[in-house]
Structure 1
Amino acid sequence: MTLREVVVVGGSIGALTAVEMLRMEDFDGRITVLSDEDVPPYTRVPLSKGVLAGTESIDDVVLAPLADEVDLRLETPATGLDLRTRTVHTPAGPVPYDGLVIATGGRARRLGHPGQDERVLRTYGDCVRLRDDLAASSSVLVVGGGFLGMEIASTARTLGKDVTVVDLAPPLDRLLGAVVGGHVRSVATQAGVRIVVTDGGVRLLGAPTPTGVELVDGTRLEADLVVSAVGDVPNVEWLAGSGVQVHGGIVVDSHCQVAPGVVAAGDVTVISAGDGELTRSPHWTNAVDQARAAVRALLHGNTAAPYRPSQYCWTEQFGLDVKMVGDLDPQGEPTVLDGSLDQGSALLAWPDAVAPRSIVAVNHRTPPVKLKRLLQPAAQAARA
């Protein structure tokens, strides 16, 4: 059918990319964007850095404004979906669609019980609150040592706070591998961050505002400010009873299709890795690339090119700019393509330079496009 009414649910970079892609693909019908936030679509990347540090504001992170002909409805969450009548339900009433793009992303995962006012960082509102708390604190305890947790720790340390990071495994090893992860931890430790690895989960202490954590061995760690950075949960509850397949996220096919006239993109999705296992890629580049593929499929069906993950992510912390392409958690010793970690700038490949599966650049001038090209021989061999 010819699409005349496209609804985009979400206010993220994935949602904005979908709107831009619709116009780039010459869709001239009506576009309605439903967002549950009270600010226009923005990029989350600076939240753990400049915005949290107080050097950037909402004006610095809001993305390019939507065209006047796009109907942006803020503070309008989707509460239900009827695939049969092609209707999205909201507190303000039903919104009909011919085509639907779901980009509702995820929300911060929480560790505490309902009586605890847990501090997290996912939205701009979270960031403003956390920034104010940080200004009034001298010590910070971050639960979770992934990209977000370590970026929060880096910003807090830059502001002169006493910082402790607690995780179930050495921070960043799961994402960057032991070699690069170990290097980043070494730099963080030299910057004054205390890292605690616990064999088991932690329990938040204090109510309503947590004031510490208890480890499984009974050890208690306290701080003025406790922040949970333990991943995210896809926003799929509004789809209950709709018939959309949900399994740890919205299940999409290779074209990001969900149902006739419905596609999805970004952190809310899961996709088959090829072996039947469903995987999520909650990264900025994935949301952008997937939104582009989803819109093409919405407009052109299976004649559109399938979605191919870019396998690119990055983090900035403790003066380190770390860019990675390929498989997360590279194992073993890398092949050094240029520089060295000891010298402060390195380009590394796993397992070798001939058919690399992972490439990491640490404070290295190589741009992302070139890093991706370095993976092409291995990708071509895998498809042969």
Structure 2
Amino acid sequence: MRHIVIVGNGIAGLTAADTLRRLDFDGEMTLVGEEDRPTYSRPALSKTALDPNQEFQVSYLPEATHAGTQLLGTTAVALDTQQQRLTLHDCNTLGYDGLIIATGTSARRFSTSDREFTVRSVDDAIALRNRLATRPSVTVIGGGVLGMELASGANAMGCDVTLIHCGTPMTDHIGPLLASLISQVAIEHGLRLIDGRVNAVDELSTGMAVQLADGQQVSSDIVISAIGDAPNIQWLAQAGLLHDGRLVIDRQCRVQDNIVAAGDVAWLKTPEGPQRYPVWTSAIEQAKIAAASLLNPQDATQLNFQPYFWTDQWGMNLKISGPARLPETAPVVVRGSLEERAAVLHWPEYGAAAAWNLRMSLPKLHKLARETVVSA
């Protein structure tokens, strides 16, 4: 294998490239990246980019050391697996011996209005920050982790913020207990929560109107949509790699013999059906396995990592090791207390641990989560 092409220059693509070199791949390497900038921390866009106490700075990752050719500001538009060649948007083509797909996702939205914002890139974050600086009224649609972080940022910048979500925000991500506690803190900060489903978003001469399924209309100057993402797989439509519209990988991150995938674009084959794990740490671990599998498919290990994610919002920090959606059962309070809104928690039957507003190193949090499995 003399030429490996990596499509995607986010954390998965960068990690895959560095891993290839670490595994002594000395052939030609080409990275194709849609954004015309080096790799940066995407989670920071919703966590620190909207902090009114800090100037906006892009959190670039350390400079790449893989010495590969980087084609930034370009995209792949088609793939021919028989000829082992992909076509770029400028009609140039690239041949490959091995291919790593790490094209990530795009934010879903309701409209094409300039008053509807999403946050997926640095340019998105800059545009939103500049608009929030004028203190518009804001409606956030979607109460996942991203939606709550963006609502928190808008609130901190002095905006009147309404968030629309079915049920308690973040329940599907962190379980009902912590979701309820954090939502209460958000309300105390001035967030208006509406339990409802959005049918449509319309642009008016005076702003935006969000139409709910129950007939209610919510008006504001701007809308921020945090309603999930769509994997960037349009360029694979005719490649014969998709199954039910999904790019599915096995536990060695393989798609087929000389093609692997990693990051948000990929669906992992599991006994419960294909599942996607769109978090930063998952992208890194998948990329390491994908690179190793491409070079040495017989010796590559299988994907087996401890899930982890964190969030900063409403003046609080939460870190979770283990399956992100925590159960309804009451946790064991290891340190602190829920009443004080600062606690280390664990779920013995679930193999998960959380640190809420208390300092705890990641290795210790992982260790605690693993110990719960043993003790159960």
TM-score by length of 2: 0.93
Letter of the 2:108 partner, please give it: R
Matches within 5 A, 1:59-74: 60-67=58-65, 69-74=67-72
Letter of the 1:107 partner, please give it: S
* Structure 1 residue 308: Cα displacement: 1.4
Aligned twin of 1:106: 105
* Structure 1 residue 287: Cα displacement: 0.4
Letter of the 2:88 partner, please give it: T
Aligned twin of 2:226: 229
Please tell me whether the aligned partners of residues 267 and 280 of structure 1 are also in contact (alpha carbons under 8 angstroms).
yes
* Structure 1 residue 207: Cα displacement: 5.3
Aligned twin of 1:239: 236
Alpha-carbon separation, structure 2, partners of 1:95 and 1:381: 53
Alpha-carbon separation, structure 2, partners of 1:115 and 1:48: 21
Matches within 5 A, 1:143-154: 143-154=141-152
CA gap of 1:161–1:308, structure 2 versus 1, over 3 A, is same
Alpha-carbon separation, structure 1, partners of 2:301 and 2:186: 42
* Structure 1 residue 244: Cα displacement: 0.8
| Alignment partner of 1:376 out of 367, 370, 376 | 370
Aligned twin of 1:364: 358
Alpha-carbon separation, structure 2, partners of 1:261 and 1:209: 53
Letter of the 1:213 partner, please give it: V
Say how many residue pairs are matched. Answer: 373
Please tell me whether the aligned partners of residues 8 and 100 of structure 1 are also in contact (alpha carbons under 8 angstroms).
yes
* Structure 1 residue 115: Cα displacement: 6.5
Structure 1 residue runs of 5 or longer lacking an equivalent are: none
Letter of the 2:166 partner, please give it: L
| Alignment partner of 1:80 out of 78, 81, 93 | 78
CA gap of 1:282–1:128, structure 2 versus 1, over 3 A, is same
CA gap of 1:369–1:248, structure 2 versus 1, over 3 A, is farther
CA gap of 1:126–1:22, structure 2 versus 1, over 3 A, is same
Please tell me whether the aligned partners of residues 341 and 357 of structure 2 are also in contact (alpha carbons under 8 angstroms).
yes
Q: Does 1:267 align with 2:264?
A: yes
Please tell me whether the aligned partners of residues 116 and 207 of structure 1 are also in contact (alpha carbons under 8 angstroms).
no
| Alignment partner of 2:23 out of 1, 22, 25 | 25
| Alignment partner of 2:312 out of 308, 313, 316 | 316
Please tell me whether the aligned partners of residues 249 and 270 of structure 1 are also in contact (alpha carbons under 8 angstroms).
yes
Q: For 1:230-256, what per-residue CA distance to the aligned partner results, in whole angstroms no more than 9, with x for missing partners?
A: 111001110011111344531001100
SS at match of 2:116: coil
CA gap of 1:150–1:100, structure 2 versus 1, over 3 A, is same
Letter of the 1:360 partner, please give it: A
TM-score by length of 1: 0.91
Please tell me whether the aligned partners of residues 141 and 227 of structure 2 are also in contact (alpha carbons under 8 angstroms).
yes
SS at match of 1:153: helix
Q: For 1:174-229, what per-residue CA distance to the aligned partner results, in whole angstroms no more than 9, with x for missing partners?
A: 1111111111111111111111111x333212159961311112111111121100
Please tell me whether the aligned partners of residues 113 and 203 of structure 2 are also in contact (alpha carbons under 8 angstroms).
no
Q: Does 1:291 align with 2:287?
A: yes
Indicate the RMSD between aligned Cα atoms, in angstroms: 2.1
Alpha-carbon separation, structure 2, partners of 1:182 and 1:190: 13
SS at match of 1:52: coil
Aligned twin of 1:94: 93
Alpha-carbon separation, structure 2, partners of 1:241 and 1:342: 55
Alpha-carbon separation, structure 1, partners of 2:37 and 2:344: 39
SS at match of 1:293: helix
Please tell me whether the aligned partners of residues 116 and 206 of structure 1 are also in contact (alpha carbons under 8 angstroms).
no
* Structure 1 residue 56: Cα displacement: 4.6
Alpha-carbon separation, structure 1, partners of 2:15 and 2:204: 40
CA gap of 1:251–1:27, structure 2 versus 1, over 3 A, is same
Alpha-carbon separation, structure 2, partners of 1:48 and 1:100: 31
Matches within 5 A, 1:173-252: 173-198=171-196, 200-206=197-203, 211-247=208-244, 249-252=246-249
Alpha-carbon separation, structure 1, partners of 2:42 and 2:7: 17
Letter of the 1:263 partner, please give it: V
Letter of the 1:162 partner, please give it: D
Q: Does 1:331 align with 2:328?
A: yes
Please tell me whether the aligned partners of residues 137 and 224 of structure 1 are also in contact (alpha carbons under 8 angstroms).
no
Please tell me whether the aligned partners of residues 87 and 94 of structure 2 are also in contact (alpha carbons under 8 angstroms).
yes
Alpha-carbon separation, structure 2, partners of 1:227 and 1:333: 34
Which of 47-56 and 214-223 deviates more?
47-56
Structure 2 residue runs of 5 or longer lacking an equivalent are: none
Matches within 5 A, 1:333-348: 333-348=330-345
Q: For 1:252-310, what per-residue CA distance to the aligned partner results, in whole angstroms no more than 9, with x for missing partners?
A: 011000111111000001012223x1110000000011101111111110311101142
Alpha-carbon separation, structure 2, partners of 1:235 and 1:268: 6
SS at match of 2:49: helix
| Alignment partner of 1:12 out of 1, 5, 10 | 10
CA gap of 1:4–1:309, structure 2 versus 1, over 3 A, is same
